Structure 1
């Protein structure tokens, strides 16, 4: 969204929010992560109890084998993660290459660089940890730009703010609705001469449509969008699952797990199935890092009798 798409009052609101985010981002790290984050945690978990009923239901249905004490501990740590993600996201307002590389290190950097150098590829990730950091791949490999595929926000002001936070020399954004056309239009020349990394947050709750499919995920029938698979098969693009591991406050390590090499013959929904299984394993390993406040199971599968 361009700034000119906003009316006068919306533009003022955008600049006020951007100014606040920028001032926050240049504050000392100790203040952001030891004062603001702790305050946000108390507000979200103790005061507002943000979507607490949704979080409780999602955790209980996903982990029926866990005790109430175990679920309560995961819930507490999730709200700590949520508070930290707010801080991480606002911190993007003043992002330098050094700051980005300090926030995200890449495990097996040279090995993965050699695999994808000079070609386009698909990075499938999730609302797990600070997923915004996945775009920092473009800080490590200057010949590639991450295209973050996303659902636009309803608020025009917040949409414009997020566009500013997410766009830069290393990354750009495109709506899910436009993603296929965007790639087909830019795949030959790239963007500013750079190869495209199509970044898909593929764990969102999609509407019921022909290109979505049901999978067994976290003990529940769950609908997933097959868009990443369809793009990979149509354009012969390799697909990698992006793992994010939190190592400290505001610090993550990224690694890659191959899903599809761009040439393999696969059954329908197989690429998405592999993604679902890898994501489930990561969530079970560190459940507090996933976004449990999403209404992920809003759609229920119709079972014919």
Structure 2
């Protein structure tokens, strides 16, 4: 897969950003999470009001049963999450295996390993908490390589920066447009003898198509990416929902819940429906951890659609 080459100025900019990120990552935990994070939260929430109207509208429409005080508390806590995710992400620039096992633990590891039986499988995750930490899954199961499917960024500098953050011995980032081709080309032998885990963040706002299926999600009609379901049915791969639990600042616990075994007969859109229900339940438990600043519902369901 080819990636846009950087010119000299862009390369300099990239290396300056990377050096700064690595220097930041080695700072003490207390300074990163109790000084820098609090400062970023203050800027986002009190000074900039980053996408405040979008956040307020999304929360109000998603939780009409909640009071104004409850929605305000969720909104405030969300901006703290946003600040923390920034720190978490930059923290990945200098991440040893020991440190990675500290920021991410895995629940019921042996049970999940038995469930996949050495097969390739699909992990459906979401923009919930620090989703980037999911790339450390391979540290706990060395026989598997996470293929982190993502949307390329418009900025070539940030695109290269994020690829450095995401790529490691246990994970490789692949653009969504290349993901099916990548899997079909490598599924027979894997990569380095490892089974492939196709990791997809499936809660983004996809392009509206004539055949888009609408789901009732957080009190609103919503469309979802169905690439995970299509890949699962085509290649008979089991599908697992990725549950992220925030333990404290910069610390998460990950677990998996199977939503498709790769063999059972299912109705059209049923696998995606199961994902949507799991995601909605997780968001309702900890709404402040989902990314409310996205314009998730900018596309509306046509009135003639049934």
TM-score class normalised by the smaller sequence: over 0.9
Partner of 1:7: 7
**Whole-Å Cα distance in 1 between the matches of residues 156 and 212 of structure 2?**
28
Which residues in structure 2 correspond to 1:114-125 (within 5 Å)?
114-125=114-125
Aligned to 1:243: 243
Distance in 2, Cα, partners of 1:12 & 1:141? 36
Provide the C-alpha distance between the structure 1 equivalents of 2:198 and 2:211, rounded to a whole number of angstroms. 18
Shift of 1:191: 1.4
Q: Distance in 1 between matches of 2:212 and 2:249?
A: 35
Partner of 2:287: 287
Residue of structure 2 equivalent to 1:176: 176
- Cα distance in 2 for residues equivalent to 1:4 and 1:184: 24
User: Counterparts of 1:107-186 in structure 2 under 5 Å?
Assistant: 107-186=107-186
Moved more, 33-42 or 111-120: 111-120
Deviations 1:116-164 (A, max 9, x none): 2421000001000000111111111111011111110000000000000
Between stretches 286-295 and 1-10, larger displacement belongs to 1-10
- Farther-moved stretch of structure 1 (211-220 vs 286-295): 211-220
The answer to whether the 8 Å contact 2:4/2:156 transfers is no
**Aligned partners of 2:254, 2:27: CA distance in 1, in Å?**
26
CA distance in structure 2 between the aligned counterparts of 1:246 and 1:239, rounded to whole angstroms: 23
C-alpha distance 139-51 of structure 1, shift in aligned 2 (>3 A): same
Shift of 1:211: 6.2
When normalised by structure 1's length, the TM-score is: 0.98
- Find runs of 4+ consecutive structure 1 residues off by over 4 angstroms: 1-4
Distance 1:211 1:124, change over 3 A: farther
Residue 260 (structure 1) aligns with: 260
Give 3-state SS (helix, strand or coil) of 1:73's partner. Answer: helix
Residue 52 (structure 1) aligns with? 52
Which residue in the other structure is 1:39 paired with? 39
Deviation of the 1:212 alpha carbon: 3.6
Offset from partner CA, 1:195-218 (integer Å, 9 cap, x none)? 100001000000112564210000
Quote the residue 1:72 is aligned against.
72
Paired position in structure 2 for 1:17:
17
Shift in CA distance, 271/134, structure 1 to aligned 2, threshold 3 Å: same
- CA displacement at 1:110 relative to structure 2: 1.0
- Please list every run of 5 or more consecutive structure 2 residues that lacks an aligned counterpart in the other structure: none
Three-state SS of the structure 2 residue aligned to 1:200 is strand
CA contact (8 A) 1:3 1:11 kept: no
Matched, 1:91 2:91: yes
Where in structure 1 are there 5+ consecutive unaligned residues?
none
Q: Distance in 2 between matches of 1:282 and 1:175?
A: 27
What SS does structure 2 have at the residue aligned with 1:258?
Answer: strand
1:102 equivalent in structure 2 = 102
* Rounded Cα–Cα distance in structure 2 between residues aligned with 1:128 and 1:183: 25
